[in-house]
Structure 1
Amino acid sequence: MAMLTDQAQALRQLVSETKRQSAGRRPSGERRVRTVAVTSGKGGVGKSSIAANLAVQLVRMGRRVAVLDGDLGTANLDVICNVSPSYTLAHVLVGRCRLEDVIIDAPGGFRLIPGASGLAQIAALGEVERDRILDQMHIAARDVDLLLVDAGAGIGPAVLSFATGCDQLLVVTTPEPTAIADAYAVIKVAHRRRPDVDVRVLVNMARDDEESRAVFGRIDAVCRRFLDLAPGYAGHVVHDGRVAAAIRQRVPFVISSPRCDASGCISRLAQKMVRHGADPDQAGLLRRVAGWLSG
């Protein structure tokens, strides 16, 4: 047992030393990458579909985009994009490959970092595994302008670490009362954890702009009253039958139906994000994710 403990300690020291050497090689003026976490209060609101389609549209606008599937319980961006990755974050954690080996090209031109397939596996990380993935985390944002993080749903520690670690938090909801209540719960917990978090609300599956603004108005009112927080209105994605058809075909709907109403909504969202980008703080993402991994 003592020998195993000594070996583990030696591994930790080796990984930590590698991290320090790697950090020392990076130039002090290295460009920071803008990070946006896409999350929701509950599953089934179309969060992952929004992330994938938004990434495709941003690429069309000339942005270099990477998407990290941080939905650690039910990672499914690979399914949405009809790709079969050879490796995922799970393989990085056990040392079978590097993070840069996991990154694959997705339909539409963005780079996808497939997520691991179980929250329990990630939550039980030891120090060696944690150091390994943190040491390579910056590679996910290398040579890109924007890193989208599909942060999962709910208020679990993994979701909140991604949500509060990014420059901007895009909370996806639908007009359903339960989705609205859960969206507010996410905003409340994220705000308490990081009071300066930049929150934007996107209403998915809305009938029209009027319904979307009514939903946002309800969330905005309770945020102002109880949190002293004024979230931003990101817009809406209209309920469109071609979205469901695209999901069944396993292709982003902005590719399969670029002129449908939902694609137009995604285009306006992307334009708004480009015009009103937050100041990048990539170090913040790494720091907060490190805090979660540390328990």
Structure 2
Amino acid sequence: MTDQATRLRQMVGAETIPMPVSSAQAEAWAHVRVIAITSGKGGVGKTNIAVNLAIALQRRGHRVLVIDADLGMANVDILLGASSRKHLLDLLQPEVKLDDVIVETPHGVQYISGGSGIEKALEYDHAEKVLLQQKLADCAARADLIIVDTGAGLGRNVMDFILAADEVLLVTTPEPTSLTDAYAVMKAYSIYAAQKNLRLIINRVYEQKESREVALKLQRAAEKFLHMPVDCLGYVFEDTSVTKAVRKQLPLLKAEPNAAAARCIDALAESLLTGGEMRVKRGWKGFLQQIFKFST
């Protein structure tokens, strides 16, 4: 079985490098959950879900660390209201410590900006990879859950992260192009993942029934053509409050905690921890908002 140390080594592209492990580190690695959140295409709300899911998990008493590995659209810091002066790449400097690159955000969630360091990890020499491993190892002692916000699509960097993670949450929307690209990610994952643990999140749906129909399409395709069972973690309603929160540069759960989408993400966090099925209804206010296309 692939252990946590192996996965952490894979994250820095150095899975074959031996690394001394203390008993404290081994114990920490055994309990942390590494969750990659990805998508087949950009613009489906992946990062928004990653950030708000992290906050929902933190509110339930868990120490959460978010790593922004979306090199093309790195905007976790904007949504978290945090500014990082140092990135992952800066850990290669002997004087830079892990504490220097981890940002404590106003929302109780820890954050590391990947910068260009992750993309260049495969180019590092042996000594640089060992140094990165040693400094990143203590992330597991500082967090119960590590959420990696990957890029979209099937780039090598993206695949490295989703194959290294314990769990993968694949975000899609009901749009045909989004479904096609999501299936492409599922196909690649089914081929290369040694231990498969991928679940769907259907974003921007208008009702629960729509999310079930969308998930069923992908699930049937995965079973028929990929021979891979795929569960659906849940759904997030289409909600104008999401756009309003982004404009305020605030996480949705802080800006509009009672919004339909916020309640969905909160329920996703609960399902992620308990394994139960999420059930969120729009309610009468949500019904009126959707019918008249406005937010009160």
Note the C-alpha offset of 1:121. 4.0
Partner of 1:54, secondary structure, is: helix
- Between the two structures, name the one with larger relative contact order (CA 8 Å, sep ≥ 6): 1
Report what 1:266 is aligned to: 265
**Can you list the C-alpha shifts for 1:106-146, whole angstroms capped at 9, x where unaligned?**
23211111121477544533333322222222222223211
Count of residue pairs brought into register by the alignment = 259
Report what 2:199 is aligned to: 200
Report what 2:45 is aligned to: 46
Partner of 1:142, secondary structure, is: helix
Does structure 1 retain, via aligned residues, the 8 Å contact 2:202–2:234? yes
Instruction: Classify 1:226/1:93 alpha carbon distance in 2 versus 1 (closer, same or farther; 3 Å).
Output: farther
Using the alignment, how far apart are the partners of 1:183 and 1:95 within structure 2?
A: 40
Does structure 1 retain, via aligned residues, the 8 Å contact 2:69–2:118? no
Does structure 2 retain, via aligned residues, the 8 Å contact 1:54–1:270? yes
Paired amino acid for 1:147: I
Note the C-alpha offset of 1:71. 1.5
Paired amino acid for 1:255: K
Note the C-alpha offset of 1:196. 2.5
Does structure 2 retain, via aligned residues, the 8 Å contact 1:67–1:147? yes
Report what 1:77 is aligned to: 76
Using the alignment, how far apart are the partners of 1:256 and 1:194 within structure 2?
A: 37
Instruction: Classify 1:217/1:97 alpha carbon distance in 2 versus 1 (closer, same or farther; 3 Å).
Output: same
Using the alignment, how far apart are the partners of 2:132 and 2:74 within structure 1?
A: 17
Unaligned runs of 5+ in 1: 1-15, 278-295
Report what 1:281 is aligned to: none
Instruction: Classify 1:203/1:91 alpha carbon distance in 2 versus 1 (closer, same or farther; 3 Å).
Output: same
Report what 2:110 is aligned to: 111
Using the alignment, how far apart are the partners of 1:54 and 1:230 within structure 2?
A: 24
Report what 1:176 is aligned to: 175
Does structure 2 retain, via aligned residues, the 8 Å contact 1:74–1:118? no
Instruction: Classify 1:197/1:107 alpha carbon distance in 2 versus 1 (closer, same or farther; 3 Å).
Output: farther
Instruction: Classify 1:28/1:81 alpha carbon distance in 2 versus 1 (closer, same or farther; 3 Å).
Output: closer
Using the alignment, how far apart are the partners of 1:220 and 1:127 within structure 2?
A: 41
Report what 1:152 is aligned to: 151
After TM superposition, the structure 1 stretch with the greater mean CA deviation from structure 2, 70-79 or 37-46, is 70-79
Paired amino acid for 2:187: K
Question: Is 1:102 aligned to 2:98, yes or no?
Answer: no
Paired amino acid for 1:248: R
Does structure 2 retain, via aligned residues, the 8 Å contact 1:73–1:117? no
Question: Is 1:217 aligned to 2:210, yes or no?
Answer: no
Paired amino acid for 1:150: D
Using the alignment, how far apart are the partners of 1:32 and 1:173 within structure 2?
A: 29
**Can you list the C-alpha shifts for 1:165-192, whole angstroms capped at 9, x where unaligned?**
1111100011111111111111111121
Does structure 1 retain, via aligned residues, the 8 Å contact 2:25–2:138? no
Unaligned runs of 5+ in 2: 1-16, 277-296
> What's the RMSD between the two structures over aligned residues?
2.1
Report what 2:247 is aligned to: 248
**Can you list the C-alpha shifts for 1:220-277, whole angstroms capped at 9, x where unaligned?**
1110001111111111111100101111111100110000000110011001001029
Partner of 1:273, secondary structure, is: helix
Question: Normalised by the size of structure 2, how large is the TM-score?
Answer: 0.81
Report what 2:289 is aligned to: none
Report what 1:162 is aligned to: 161
Using the alignment, how far apart are the partners of 2:24 and 2:171 within structure 1?
A: 35
Does structure 2 retain, via aligned residues, the 8 Å contact 1:94–1:129? no
